[in-house]
Structure 1
Amino acid sequence: MADNKTGRDKQARDAERRQQQREIDAELERGDEEQPPDESTESVDLEAELEALNFPATGSDIVAAIGDWAVESAEGSYSIEELVPKADDETFDSPDAVRVLVQVPTVSAAMKRIVEASKTLSNTEFSWAQRKTYETTFQELKAIDSVDDDEGIQVISDWVVEQIHDKEKLPSSRAVRREAAKFCRANGYEVRNDEWLGI
């Protein structure tokens, strides 16, 4: 491959795609460990619907095909439309990428709001690495037992969306972690320096 801008861009996209697939595979593995597989008819039907789609598929394609499909979780019921960003430039390479979203619906719903809000920004790319750090912050908030009903996820996603609208830019990953740590401390949860939120 030629050592020019186009070649370097392609290498970067390929590396990012490989990283995404590794993370999806790891997420699915962890999902299998944490809870027994759901063999309900609803789960099997959703699997069949996903397999019937042509991948890669855009978020818009997925929402159009199965957007009203309900996913039950401990946090309540979510439609696929509430979890998948409805956008033509959001691409899912495989059914596994969609399955990862439904495993932690509160995090996926928060990320959907942020992704859709980021589309209002001009000349701003919401990179895969930045998305991953946002997601990790939300997953850390979900893991905190003393913060009930995933309130932290809602509060921080609201804050990020406000920052996008007010300042017309995505807050840095560090700023999101700092805001999440502030929320935890205000709600009586100690955040140590060696933890993800410990900024």
Structure 2
Amino acid sequence: MADKKRDRDKQGHDAERRQQNRDTATELERWGETEPAVPPDVLAEFETELEAVRFPATGAELVAAIGDHELQSVDGSYSVDALLPETAGETFDSPTAVRVQVQRPAVAAAMKPVVEASKTLSNVEFSWTQRKAYEKTFQALKAIDADDNDEGVEAISDWIVEWIHTNEQLPRSRDVRRQAAKFCRTNGYQVRSDEWLGI
């Protein structure tokens, strides 16, 4: 019986890894659409820095190796340690995965404390699909309040972290979207019902 459960778990993890690879490929194909605020030449230079890192690498290993490296974006300068979760529980399979993470610095900076907080929970898995939903919410907020220093992105990141510490679980992606929509409406931003935040 235990062997069957182990096989099912393995199949589930394999399916999730395949989905991660597809999502990474999709992100790379679409990286010019919304933010990527880090220009391609800066990302190319950053990838040169990553050659010194052995993959797969944890977030903690990457921060230790290249955390002080600065990435120039259209919004300003970000150090790598402000964008990558500093935890051994977060693993990056390749330089491409790191590049996808840092090319949208506002989203990466918002996800860093969320991922770190999620690693304090026992027996809770932060699934790839849930993570992508959180990121999509941050991207939508970034698009809405691009001129307001990412106030909405930071507010929802803080809300998720507080939720994790208070409830000792991850909020559902629907709850995150609902809270983001509430923030937008409270601050005078229109959210249409056919948009991601229109919930």
Q: Which residue of 1 aligns with 2:99?
A: 99
1:156–1:179 contact (8 Å) kept in structure 2: yes
TM-score when normalising by structure 1? 0.90
1:140 is paired with a residue whose SS is: helix
1:149 is paired with a residue whose SS is: coil
Runs of at least 4 residues off by over 6 Å: none
Shift of 1:3: 7.9
Shift of 1:96: 0.6
CA distance in 1, matches of 2:4, 2:73: 48
1:4 is paired with a residue whose SS is: helix
Q: Which residue of 2 aligns with 1:114?
A: 114
Q: 1:25 to 1:114 in 2, by over 3 A?
A: same
Q: Which residue of 1 aligns with 2:76?
A: 76
Instruction: Give, as a single letter, the amino acid of the residue that structure 2 aligns with 1:38.
Output: P
Q: 1:89 to 1:148 in 2, by over 3 A?
A: same
Q: Name whichever of 5-14 and 30-39 sits farther off.
A: 30-39
Instruction: Give aligned pairs, total.
Output: 196
2:40 is paired with a residue whose SS is: coil
CA distance in 1, matches of 2:33, 2:150: 22
Q: 1:165 to 1:3 in 2, by over 3 A?
A: closer
Q: 1:194 to 1:80 in 2, by over 3 A?
A: same
Q: Which residue of 2 aligns with 1:194?
A: 194
Match runs of 1:57-68 below 5 Å:
57-68=57-68
Q: 1:149 to 1:121 in 2, by over 3 A?
A: same
Q: Which residue of 2 aligns with 1:15?
A: 15
Shift of 1:90: 0.8
Shift of 1:123: 2.1
From 34, 40, 44, the equivalent of 1:38 is 40
**Any unmatched runs of 5+ in structure 1?**
none
Q: 1:160 to 1:33 in 2, by over 3 A?
A: closer
Question: Is 1:123 aligned to 2:123, yes or no?
Answer: yes
1:146–1:189 contact (8 Å) kept in structure 2: no
Instruction: Give, as a single letter, the amino acid of the residue that structure 2 aligns with 1:133.
Output: A
Shift of 1:139: 0.7
Shift of 1:74: 1.8
Shift of 1:59: 0.9
Q: Which residue of 2 aligns with 1:170?
A: 170
CA distance in 2, matches of 1:23, 1:162: 28
CA distance in 2, matches of 1:123, 1:57: 22
Q: Name whichever of 3-12 and 71-80 sits farther off.
A: 3-12
CA distance in 2, matches of 1:62, 1:185: 38
Shift of 1:84: 0.8
Instruction: Give, as a single letter, the amino acid of the residue that structure 2 aligns with 1:83.
Output: L
Shift of 1:167: 2.0
CA distance in 1, matches of 2:177, 2:46: 34
1:129 is paired with a residue whose SS is: helix
CA distance in 1, matches of 2:33, 2:176: 28
TM-score when normalising by structure 2? 0.90
Q: 1:43 to 1:27 in 2, by over 3 A?
A: closer
Shift of 1:62: 0.8
2:101 is paired with a residue whose SS is: helix
